[in-house]
Structure 1
Amino acid sequence: MHGRMMTVLTVCLVFGMTAIHAVEKRALTFDDLIACKRLKDPRISPNGKRIAFTAQIMNEAENNSHTDIYLIGTDGKGLRRFSDGEKSASSPRWSPDGRLAFLSGGQIWLQSITDEKPTQLTSHYTGVDEFIWSPDGRQIAFTSRVYPELGDDQAAMEKKDKDIENSQVKARVYEDLLYRHWDTWWDHKRSHLFILDVASGDFRDLTPGNYDVPPIALSGGFAFSPDSRYLVFTSNHSKMVAASTDNDVWRVPVIGGDLELMSTSCKDRDFSGNESDPQFSPDGRYLSFLSMKRAGFESDKPDLFILDMKRGKFKNLTEDKDIRIESYAWLPDSKSLLLRIDEQARLKIKRLDLKKGRLTELVSPGNNRYLSVSPDGKTFAYLHERTTRPFELYVGSTRDGSSRQLTHFNDQLLANVEMNDIEDFWFNGAKGDKVHGFIVKPPFFDESKKYPAVFFVHGGPQGAWQDEWHYRWNIQMWAAQGYVMVMINPRGSTGYGQKFTDEISKDWGGKAFQDIVAGQSYVLDSFSFIDSQRIAAAGASFGGYMMNWIEGHMDAFRVPFKTLVNHDGTFNLYTNFLTTEELWFPEWEFNGPYWEDEEYYKKWSPHNYVNNFKTPMLIIHGEHDYRLAYTEGLMPFTALRRKGIPAKLVIFPDETHFVTKPQNSRFWHETIFDWLDSYLK
């Protein structure tokens, strides 16, 4: 009898503990999202024993963020904050002798890992944007925005800025494009490449002239030659930069002198497209860079080229590989490289054998960013995230890809948060082609219940939903509201071969739209727990365009969406051409300026289909969005309300194409979820 009672008591305790544990689990909240530490920029030390990286934390009360530099051993031991915690510090860069330079307050500082106080290396009036060490440790190359006509004269630049600030005339005057970019009006400064002598503090401008290093967009990166005698960088010297992707690779001696164009033509390429990320092989024999073949197309396939510096011959290492390289890094033996590759909603890491051309997969699941290779070439540091976890620091083997997690910054915060992994699916889209998507179920999912669903459409359009932890469009955050989240990667998405990516251009409302229509039908047929009478769609940028397009073509769907959420979407392709800044984009997508060829502007512009508008829409736009001017949000709102259709317009006067300030982000989430709940619950 006593034994039975003990058994019953034990069972009760076990079930009780299980119940308590279940109660402790909860859905993700905005407080969780804002509290996550955001890791970036891992760098392995010259002796291979430590990794420096940054961790950013958002401060909602002050509506800003703070970034610190951390150190950890490659064995996972000895984690500590390296920066003092008072001012933000970023861009940790190891000197060849093992000291750490970093940016704080727009200047370069240098500190031994055993010292408590850093030494300031620069007092550059215009500040420092990026920097790298020379291999011999004697020099630092950095970029800074300057008035090109004033050269190295810091005093003259300061005087000019003060004169402008003190003037009562605030007019901006322009005579050419680009007069503004992303979120900023052009201040007539150019980004130039400087060289700093570390011992003396002397510096000089290596790229004087009326052009930017790096270019305004698409391209970047600069590197020393292994002998520290030269720098390579990218720059666009086109007459009409606003309409050109012709970013080239250049070389300049560190002592100063004429620039030398390195990306000259070869038998199968004239290098009139976008070149980026120039690097030297560790032995100095090769200059490598990524190259897009087609001029004006920012989403062409990035091929990896090498230039044999002795023979003067180019070789395309990935000509026969239909892959999309996001970044790469040389291994110390100069015989192989690591590549980060966008592939079917994952960012994978693979090793490329230079001689054999063989690709070996090292890291495949999730989203993997950054590459820092150890001096012995045996390991590499990277950041890894999944839909259910933000970035943490890992080290992997360059031989077999075996990996080990080093940091656990967000484990405790998210330990009791209930989240579901993504579930992949494939279906037949336009023309019967296979299209990929995935769903995320809400927390505490019950197969026997019916759930509302939200269909996400990504931006780009050349982009993709991935297995990632996103801070602006966090899938788990939306699923936590009780929605089944559906992410489809339609025509134009990256990671499915270049042909698939190409098929969006000049066809914005065509096959990509048909893919979404077919995807909706497949999802409703395949997932019986979705309530087909409670579905919505949402998207930003191109996704916002697609909301406007869906609004005018809702009858194509088997089941109409109850409501749409449009963030910074294009409404009128004509007006967008005249207000956007990177003109190469619409000129490629719609076959030139509209006055030269109107066909695709007229065919695919949502404003031509206002007659068909009938679905309630939430419209959000940032006033400092110069990619898609906020008037693109005013127009559909005016059309909807004039027609008597429910709509809400939210304009953020202090945000850009993205909503990033913590308090604005909370308001953004609350506004969207309140709107969706009113139609789906």
Structure 2
Amino acid sequence: MTDGLLYRHWDTWKEGKFNHLFIADVETGTFRDLTPGERHDFPPFPWGGSGDYSFSPDGKKICVAAKMVEMEAISTNTDLFLIDVATGNMTKLTDNEAADESPSYSPDGRYIAYRTQRVPGFESDRWRLALYDTKKGTHRILTEGFDRWVEDYTWSRDGKYIYFAAVDNGNKGLFKLDTASGKIKKILGKGTSSSLAVTPDGKTIVFVRRSFDFPHSIWKISTSGKHLARLSHFNDAVISRLDLNSAEDIRYKGADGATIQAFLIKPPHFDSHKRYPAIVLVHGGPQSAFIDAWYTNWNAQVFAAAGYIIFIPNFHGSDGFGQDFINEISGDWGGKCYIDIMKGFDYLASLPFVDAKRIGAAGASYGGYMIDWIEGHTDRFACLISMAGPYNLVSEYGTTEELWFPEWEFRGTPYENPMEYERWSPSNFVSNFKTPCMVVVGERDYRVPFSEGLQMFTALQRMGITSRLVYFPDEGHWILKLQNVKFYYEQFIGWMDRFLKR
């Protein structure tokens, strides 16, 4: 029973409960609720964790993010609140109508760094890094001139610098920010870096790093960007038995002549004299990107190992190429990005080692949407796989949870702006469906409810198109359980083999 929206989120039902912030005494084992009686989540539901609260160095105060709005489902407005640990008194620190999250106290306790957006209702606005001065009560944005999203970050030991990660041109690099001058220096570019920590002597950054050809491991680098070294080696024995090709970073011309970045991965024991089948992978988001990283259930090396050339384009809307590039996909879901993908198809088909008649495509979330869109707009692909993709934008609006998302992307609700929903809904192009397609859904997917996939599968079957439904009753928007991941890979590769290895 519920009397309001956002009663479930991603894969979790709200059940009338709220996240509260508790403090525990490690010596006595006693604990106390710092937000008693609050009917808002501290930190936000369901993702809020340790990254959304921060203790002052003296332990007397705690800064926490919360979303205290009337209707959470249509708002991206989170704010920062300062709680006095002794009294429980709470003070609101931000009045920005967009998101303010991820607080972190400076080592001397004077400043609170946090990530902030400036466009209300738009979850993919640029994430900036800001400082709140606890003495003056003032706010200052540090990265206004940095046209990338600030993600993981940590303070230097002396408080003069902030080290952060940001997606940039297909990689998630490390950057060093001078908090006084605002000057930013890239200290590591290749691969994907996250979970930053500075050693007690302040000279070294320890972090998690991964890439298309190597899974998560612990690395270190000096704060000046020198002496990069891997510290953990628990995957060495497994990796040494595999033939993994590094991703090739390529560029080609997309919609409106824009330069599109993409990755190309060749199969083991690649022979340039042969012609291989290929798979185009379409990322979700859509304001996201496929970056040089090791993925659990969209691992390009697994697909390449099955004997495929893997092509991964970062089309209009992708993160890491500037905010203007990101913004161009809103209100244009099947427009420039579709052109980018098809021009990528042309590039891929022109390669001497690719068989142009044996190219398939697959995607999840927005990528699943794009596969559904491709199904109704071209028959150039030999087969398709659609996972967790919006199919009927009107029905998806009525069953999803984050209503701020479609209301931004399609310029309102379906009853305020029906033409926009109708224009970009794959369900309106079923009469053009021709390509064999496998549809993958998880029943616990509340982001894109699995009924969207059921509708897609029904349309394929009624059109007499070879199709398959793969249904996971215990998965959500992502396939996470290891046995399910194994089964998913078997179905994925089996479907591609059926049509691309004839």
Shared fold by TM > 0.5?
yes
Q: Secondary structure at the match of 1:296?
A: coil
2:268 counterpart residue number: 443
d(CA) in 1 for partners of 2:46 and 2:126? 17
Which residue does 1:252 correspond to in 2? 83
1:668 corresponds to 2:492: no
SS of the residue 2:267 aligns to: coil
Tell whether the 8 Å contact from 1:362 to 1:402 is kept in structure 2 after alignment: no
CA positional deviation for 1:519:
1.3
Supply the distance in 2 between the matched residues of 1:256 and 1:413 (Cα, whole angstroms). 53
Query: In structure 2, how many angstroms separate the alpha carbons of the residues matched to 1:203 and 1:671?
Result: 48
| 2:461 is the counterpart of 1:637 | no
Show the counterpart of 1:188: 16
Asked whether 1:385 is paired with 2:227, we answer no
How far off is 1:256 after superposition?
Answer: 3.1
Residue 647 of structure 1 is matched in structure 2 by: 467
- Could you tell me how far apart the structure 2 residues matched to 1:357 and 1:258 are? 33
Does the CA contact (< 8 Å) of 2:171 and 2:191 recur in 1?
yes
How many Å separate the matches in 2 of 1:621 and 1:400?
43
Deviations 1:48-89 (A, max 9, x none): xxxxxxxxxxxxxxxxxxxxxxxxxxxxxxxxxxxxxxxxxx
Amino acid at match of 1:202: T
For 2:372, the aligned partner's letter is N
Q: Which runs of 4+ in 1 moved over 6 A?
A: none
**Among residues 11, 19, 33, which one is paired with 1:205 in the alignment?**
33
Shift of 1:240: 0.2
Return the match for 2:355 from 528, 531, 548.
531
Match in the other structure for 1:520: 345
SS at match of 2:493: helix
The residue aligned with 1:566 is: 386
What are the within-5 Å matches in structure 2 for residues 114-263 of structure 1?
A: 173-208=1-36, 209-216=38-45, 220-263=51-94
How far did residue 199 of structure 1 move?
Answer: 2.1
CA distance in 2, matches of 1:524, 1:640: 26
RMSD after superposition: 1.2
Q: CA offsets per residue over residues 300-337 of structure 1, 9 Å max, x none?
A: 10111111222222111011111211111110111111
Distance (Å, rounded) in 2 between the aligned partners of 1:541 and 1:487? 15
Trace 1:312-391 onto structure 2 (pairs within 5 A).
312-391=137-216
Corresponding residue for 1:427? 252
Aligned to 1:191, the other structure's residue is in SS state coil
Amino acid at match of 2:392: N
Contact 1:247 1:274 in 2 (8 A): yes
- Per the TM alignment, residue 226 of structure 1 is displaced from its structure 2 partner at its CA by 1.6
| SS of equivalent residue, structure 1 residue 548 | helix
Q: Secondary structure at the match of 1:506?
A: coil
SS of aligned partner of 2:19: strand
Aligned residue identity for 2:211? R
Amino acid at match of 1:610: V
Give the number of the structure whose alpha-carbon radius of gyration is greater: 1
Counterpart contact for 2:287–2:317, Cα < 8 Å: yes
Aligned residue identity for 1:638: T
* Matching residue's letter, 1:262: L
SS at match of 1:278: strand
Shift of 1:414: 1.5
**Which residue identity lines up with residue 41 of structure 2 in the other structure?**
D
Name the aligned partner's letter for residue 298 of structure 1: E
Which amino acid in the other structure matches residue 102 of structure 2?
Answer: D
Deviations 1:522-555 (A, max 9, x none): 2222x21000000000000100000000001106
Question: Which blocks of at least 5 consecutive residues in structure 1 are unaligned?
Answer: 1-172, 265-270
Report the CA distance between 1:188 and its aligned residue. 1.1
Q: Aligned-pair distance for 1:257?
A: 2.8
Which secondary structure state, in structure 2, belongs to the residue aligned with residue 499 of structure 1? helix
What's 2:368 paired with? 544
For the residues of structure 1 that align with 2:159 and 2:136, how far apart are their CA atoms?
Answer: 17
Q: For 1:592, which of 405, 409, 412 is the aligned residue? A: 412
Distance 2:248 2:9 in 1: 38
Question: How far apart in 1 are the matches of 2:328 and 2:368?
Answer: 19
Distance 1:654 1:316 in 2: 43
Offset of 1:217 from its aligned partner?
5.5
Checking the alignment, whether the CA contact within 8 Å between 1:218 and 1:274 is kept in structure 2 is no
Letter of the structure 1 residue corresponding to residue 360 of structure 2: A
Residues of 1 paired with 2:27 and 2:87: CA distance? Answer: 18
* Shift in Å, 1:391: 1.1
Deviations 1:618-649 (A, max 9, x none): 00100111111111111111111111111111
The DSSP-based 3-state class of the residue aligned with 1:325 is coil
Contact 1:447 1:529 in 2 (8 A): yes
One of 587, 607, 626 as aligned partner of 2:446: 626
1:189 shift after superposition? 1.0
